[in-house]
Amino acid sequence: DIQMTQSPSSLSASVGDRVTITCQASQDISNYLNWYQQKPGKAPKLLIYDASNLETGVPSRFSGSGSGTDFTFTISSLQPEDIATYYCQQYDNLPVVTFGPGTKVDIK
Amino acid sequence: QVQLVESGGGVVQPGRSLRLSCAASGFTFSSYGMHWVRQAPGKGLEWVAVIWYDGSNKYYADSVKGRFTISRDNSKNTLYLQMNSLRAEDTAVYYCARDRREVGVVAATLDYWGQGTLVTVSS
């Protein structure tokens, strides 16, 4: 089974800061990786698909990069409404999918 | 607009059964694969099951294989999850989610999610 790790598990940053989250797969998954945002008490929301493609309607301050085993999710300028937990998700071994453990983002 | 509304959650004793439903609207339900994903209280997301757009293929997480059954009724635009032999560790919010790809093999990219329904397994 493919295992996913994320770091950090949580972070606090100031409004306007650049925030970076990393996701690592236990084996090569090409670009078969998505990123989701989950605000407290809400359902997850797709932000980035295929490692680097921005979902329609998602603000451009969100971006993703990487391939193989190492991936990065970036918020270029943190906004108060970005407080959430962010999950990576691999889909290399379709149709089974695996989510990372999540990264909780707070405002400092 | 795309809408997914789960129902059927509640409190159930260990070993009993429960069936969840997910009513879909705002898109051609019969053209999309559908997933169930769950989240235990205070924990992360766990994928549970997927069903092809036409019901021809179904796959499950190892943790629920043999106990849960995913199905769909395209005439009613509804997705189901039959959960048998429930355990305390099945306690979670259960979300239904649409697969991004229209027809064919699922993309396993979940582009729309319902609000979730809470299942509590407790004696």
What is the per-residue pLDDT across B13-28, written as a single tens digit (0 to 9) for each?
Answer: 999 999 999 999 999 9
Q: Is there a contact between B110 and A44 if contact means CB atoms under 8 Å apart?
A: yes
What is the per-residue pLDDT across B32-86, written as a single tens digit (0 to 9) for each?
Answer: 999 999 999 999 999 999 999 999 999 999 999 999 999 999 999 999 999 999 9
Residues of B in contact with A30 (CB under 8 A): none
3-class DSSP state of B90:
helix
* Residues A18, A77 contacting (CB under 8 angstroms): yes
Distance in angstroms (rounded) separating the CA atoms of residues B107 and A57 = 20
Distance in angstroms (rounded) separating the CA atoms of residues A49 and A68 = 15
When pLDDT is cut at 50, 70 and 90, the band that residue A94 belongs to is confident
Pick from A53, A34, A33, A57: nearest CA to A44: A34
Q: Is there a contact between B46 and A46 if contact means CB atoms under 8 Å apart?
A: no
Q: Is there a contact between A46 and B57 if contact means CB atoms under 8 Å apart?
A: no
